[in-house]
Amino acid sequence: MCIGRGIVTMKRIELFKVALEHCENLSQKFPDLEVTSSIRKQLKYLISCENTGDIDKSKLESIIIGVQTAREIEPLDQKTSEFLEENPDVSNGQYSEGLKRMKEILTIQKEKGEI
């Protein structure tokens, strides 16, 4: 069970790292494009969530990479846009099962006033 989960987690981390590379390349191409900074921060946060169990996961529901990509990246770089939008672990509100479950738990905890 742990091995299977580790494999899934590693793939997700690699996906986030590749997305980060795409974003950094885009940032070099368009240095004045501010949205790349926001997307980079979100991707680094997702990588941290995967790497550590102690990180505050309350920001998961604030991931808006898909929205930002559709609005600002798509007109500039189709390849990066397709990568970010077509990978559900990266795009807005479409988390893998593990991240989706964390989001549900956080929502319940907030409703109960636990966080």
Span 8-42, pLDDT tens digits: 444 778 888 999 999 999 999 999 999 999 999 99
DSSP character string of 38-72: HHHHHHHHHHHHHH-SSS--TTGGG--HHHHIIII
Segments making up each domain of the chain, as ranges: 2-111
pLDDT in tens, 33-90: 999 999 999 999 888 887 876 667 777 778 888 889 889 999 999 888 888 877 766 7
pLDDT, position 100:
57
Using a 10 angstrom Cβ sphere, with 0-12 exposed, 13-18 middle and 19 or more buried, the burial of residue 19 is buried
Cβ(8)–Cβ(98) under 8 Å? yes
Cβ(40)–Cβ(63) under 8 Å? no
pLDDT, position 99:
54
Cβ(92)–Cβ(67) under 8 Å? yes
**Model confidence pTM above 0.85:** no
CB count within 10 Å of CB 42 equals 23
- Checking if the pLDDT of 1 tops 50, the result is no
Q: Which 8-state DSSP code applies to residue 5?
A: H
Q: Which 8-state DSSP code applies to residue 25?
A: H
